């Protein structure tokens, strides 16, 4: 049976077409009925995934084609969700490495390719979007080959097969000059070049847990590939944790994949990807094994987080008005629940019982968690992201990022200058279809707050991508935000008259009629110091009024910050207050006298 199984993952940089290719493969394998309504990016099931057009969680499916059962894992493209990619690579025998025919290899392409090559996997390279204007497929193949030469230590991995495809149009071909109107050449390549799983169905049962899901009815559900042996529903098996402790339990449900659906199956054999329910303490990287001969597989280690921030109970005057879950117990329970499935996350208690230190792989990784929490009804405050330093051979080291920027030539001088002040070192510069590609190695803390500044400097035309590079010695202090903020001195609702008079002092973050409280940030000051202002003062009226004077007080539209922009923007003494309805910026200490007292202490 395992000879007819092929296990593959689809890996690529964000937006190179992984989920779209899965859509096309599902359509052409007969998973859907002819009259069935199909949504775009069917694998992006999460609301946030659909809204943002990105994959956040890796997902499994299986299709039958030409007598083969092909298990496919769709993985995220953002570096912040690299933990999702690392663990699923243990389940597969090959990967489809998608590369955009215009963009070429990008930072995350390098990251996911290195992980797969280190595991000894031989990829199939898919040059996607060959019908895109400006596509340069042959040049991109050479760039991919250079990347393989740089990353691999095994010459056998340099002989990689290439397929050219347009996932959106649903066709693939082995050579650019070929004619094709379907994905058959890709399916043929998978059948030829992906080996069946190496496993012994007659050996004692072993399975490495590669992902965890949670179901209110079934509890924890462990997913992984059966390394050896067979397993049956209702069977008693052993759970071996990372410390080697063995506990035995009964399988309450054995689940397999049929198309997109997870179905109950009576049994399964080595090489297949299955999900097992019935073990409440099982975690990613641990082993499920035969009850009579329990032998652990090598523990799966995940790269450590590089960024942390404090999640705390909101103590603002508006606390509890918009959220349903506001206490430290609510926040603790939610973070504990997240740890069950979010393998790259770390949560630690602090000296303050109302504050939790949460560490992740990047700003996006943590902001997705915060966004999910606010949608579920949570209300909390979060601090500025901080990088996690490590002591290596007695030297204080910090995380470095590999940054790739595509920018029109007229803006590149400004970008290089700004990055220079953030301790970035240029690695290469190359012209590319009207824009220049600049590559840097930069401290992770140098990127905090840079994206918004970068988009402003390039008038929205620049594109930046980055991924973790390495830990290296501390590069020295980096200047923070240059501008101060406008802080409300009073509580109430903002008034158009006051905002009209304040807009000359800087950039406003609020419109008229917005509730504010003392210590809340209402805008950015034009100068480098903080300024206390009254945004709630109305116009003093007299009984002599000239016609039309009130109509002339027209305010400029406010700058509304998204959650990611707010997290990047705040300084060390500021917080972002997150509720289901609002995102507010505030000072850590709301009272002006309290702020002065703490400023003196810090000096």
381 band by pLDDT with thresholds 50, 70 and 90: very high
Last residue of a domain, one of 445, 473, 501: 473
Which is more confidently placed, 13 or 429?
429
C-beta separation of 516 from 494 below 8 A = yes
* CATH number, domain with residue 13: 3.40.50.300
Is 128 annotated in some ligand binding site?
A: yes
DSSP 282: -
Give me the chain's average pLDDT, please: 82
CA proximity to 26, closest of 187, 154, 158, 189: 187
Residues 530, 467 share a domain: no
Residue 511 lies in a domain: yes
C-beta separation of 75 from 66 below 8 A = no
Residue 142 lies in a domain: yes
Residues 68, 27 share a domain: yes
Radius of gyration of the chain (CA): 27
53 band by pLDDT with thresholds 50, 70 and 90: very low
Is 18 annotated in some ligand binding site?
A: yes
Residues 394, 379 share a domain: no
Residues 376, 515 share a domain: no
Is 64 annotated in some ligand binding site?
A: no
Measured CA to CA, the distance from residue 259 to residue 65 in angstroms comes to 11
* CATH number, domain with residue 248: 2.40.30.10
Which is more confidently placed, 542 or 124?
124
Q: Give the mean pLDDT of 560-566.
A: 86
DSSP 13: S
**Structural domains in the chain (count):** 5
Residues 239, 364 share a domain: no
Residues 182, 49 share a domain: yes
Above 50 in pLDDT, residue 411? yes
Is 15 annotated in some ligand binding site?
A: yes
Which is more confidently placed, 159 or 378?
378
Q: What is the pLDDT of residues 420-470, one digit of tens each?
A: 888 889 988 888 777 888 889 999 888 887 887 888 888 888 888 777 788
* CATH number, domain with residue 449: 3.30.70.240
The maximal CA–CA distance of the chain, rounded, in angstroms, is 97
Residue 201 lies in a domain: no
Is 130 annotated in some ligand binding site?
A: yes
Other Cβ atoms within 10 Å of 95 Cβ, number? 30
Q: Give the mean pLDDT of 150-166.
A: 83
Residue 66 lies in a domain: yes
Residue 603 lies in a domain: no
**So what's the pLDDT on residue 602?**
67
Percent of the chain scoring above 90 in pLDDT: 5
Measured CA to CA, the distance from residue 544 to residue 311 in angstroms comes to 53
Is 131 annotated in some ligand binding site?
A: yes
Above 80 in pLDDT, residue 132? yes
Q: Give the mean pLDDT of 501-507.
A: 86
Residues 133, 46 share a domain: yes
**So what's the pLDDT on residue 15?**
72
Residue ranges making up the domain that contains 276 = 206-290
576 half-sphere exposure, CB direction, 13 A CA radius: 26
Residue 591 lies in a domain: no
* CATH number, domain with residue 351: 3.30.70.870
Residue 574 lies in a domain: no
**So what's the pLDDT on residue 542?**
63
Is 19 annotated in some ligand binding site?
A: yes
**So what's the pLDDT on residue 357?**
92
**So what's the pLDDT on residue 379?**
92
**So what's the pLDDT on residue 146?**
87
Residues 270, 250 share a domain: yes
Highest averaged pLDDT of the listed ranges 1-10, 149-158, 312-321, 333-342: 312-321
150 half-sphere exposure, CB direction, 13 A CA radius: 12
Helix boundaries (H) for 225-361: 328-341
What strand order describes the sheet that includes 124-128? 59-65, 68-74, 5-12, 94-100, 124-128, 162-166, 171-173
Residue 568 lies in a domain: no
Burial class (CB in 10 A: 0-12, 13-18, 19+), 216: exposed
Residues 286, 325 share a domain: no
Percent of the chain scoring above 70 in pLDDT: 89
Structure tokens at 524: 């950015």
Other Cβ atoms within 10 Å of 553 Cβ, number? 15
Residues 370, 510 share a domain: no
**Residue carrying structure tokens 């395992």:** 2
Q: What is the pLDDT of residues 242-290, one digit of tens each?
A: 888 889 889 888 888 877 777 888 888 888 888 888 888 888 788 898 8
Residues 420, 518 share a domain: no
Residues 216, 171 share a domain: no
């Amino acid at each position: 049976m395992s000879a007819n199984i092929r296990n593959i993952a689809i890996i690529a940089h964000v937006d190179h077409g992984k989920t779209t290719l899965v859509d096309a493969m599902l359509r052409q394998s007969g998973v859907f009925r002819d009259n069935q309504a199909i949504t775009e990016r069917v694998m992006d099931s999460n609301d946030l995934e659909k809204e943002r057009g990105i994959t956040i969680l890796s997902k499994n499916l299986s299709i039958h084609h030409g007598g083969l059962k092909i298990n496919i894992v769709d993985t995220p493209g953002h570096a912040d969700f690299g933990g999702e990619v690392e663990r699923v690579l243990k389940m597969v025998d090959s990967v489809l490495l998608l590369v955009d025919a215009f963009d070429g290899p990008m930072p995350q392409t390098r990251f996911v390719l290195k992980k797969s090559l280190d595991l000894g996997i031989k990829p199939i390279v898919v040059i996607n979007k060959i019908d895109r204007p400006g596509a340069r497929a042959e040049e991109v193949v050479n760039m991919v080959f250079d990347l393989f030469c740089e990353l691999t230590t095994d010459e056998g991995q340099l002989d990689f097969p290439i397929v050219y495809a347009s996932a959106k149009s649903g066709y693939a071909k082995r050579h650019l000059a070929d004619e094709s109107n379907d994905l058959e050449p890709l399916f043929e390549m998978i059948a030829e070049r992906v080996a069946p799983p190496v496993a012994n169905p007659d050996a004692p049962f072993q399975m490495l847990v590669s992902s965890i899901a949670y179901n209110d009815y079934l509890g924890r559900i462990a997913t992984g590939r059966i390394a050896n042996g067979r397993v049956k529903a209702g069977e008693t098996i052993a759970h071996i944790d990372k410390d080697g402790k063995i506990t035995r339990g009964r399988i309450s449900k054995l689940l397999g994949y049929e198309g997109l659906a997870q179905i109950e199956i009576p049994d399964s054999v080595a090489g297949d990807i299955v999900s097992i329910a019935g073990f409440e303490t099982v975690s990613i990287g641990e082993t499920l094994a035969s009850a009579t001969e329990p032998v652990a597989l090598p523990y799966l280690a995940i790269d450590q987080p590089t960024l942390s921030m404090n999640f705390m109970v909101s103590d603002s005057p508006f606390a509890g008005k918009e959220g349903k879950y506001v206490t430290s117990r609510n926040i603790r329970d939610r973070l504990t629940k997240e740890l069950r499935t979010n393998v790259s996350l770390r949560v630690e208690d602090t000296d303050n019982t109302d504050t939790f230190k949460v560490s992740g792989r990047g700003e996006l990784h943590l902001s997705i968690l915060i966004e999910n929490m606010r949608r579920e009804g949570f209300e909390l405050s979060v601090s500025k992201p901080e990088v996690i330093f490590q002591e290596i051979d007695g030297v204080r080291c910090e995380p470095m990022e590999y940054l790739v920027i595509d920018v029109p030539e007229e803006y590149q001088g400004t970008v290089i200058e700004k990055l220079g002040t953030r301790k970035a070192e240029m690695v290469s510069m190359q012209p590319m279809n009207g824009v220049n590609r600049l590559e840097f190695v930069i401290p992770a803390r140098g990127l905090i707050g840079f994206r918004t500044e970068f988009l402003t400097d390039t008038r929205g035309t620049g594109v930046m991508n980055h991924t973790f590079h390495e830990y290296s010695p501390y590069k020295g202090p980096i200047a923070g935000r240059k501008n101060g903020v406008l802080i409300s001195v009073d509580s109430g609702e903002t008034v158009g008259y006051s905002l009209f008079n304040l807009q000359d002092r800087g950039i406003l973050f609020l419109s008229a009629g917005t509730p504010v409280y003392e210590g809340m940030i209402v805008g950015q000051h034009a100068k480098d110091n903080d300024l206390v202002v009254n945004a709630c003062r109305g116009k003093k009226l007299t009984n002599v009024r000239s016609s039309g004077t009130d109509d002339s007080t027209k305010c400029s539209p406010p700058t509304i910050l998204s959650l990611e922009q707010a997290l990047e923007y705040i300084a060390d003494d500021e917080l972002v207050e997150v509720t289901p309805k609002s995102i507010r910026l505030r000072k850590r200490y709301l009272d002006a006298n309290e702020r002065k007292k703490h400023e003196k202490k810090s000096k």
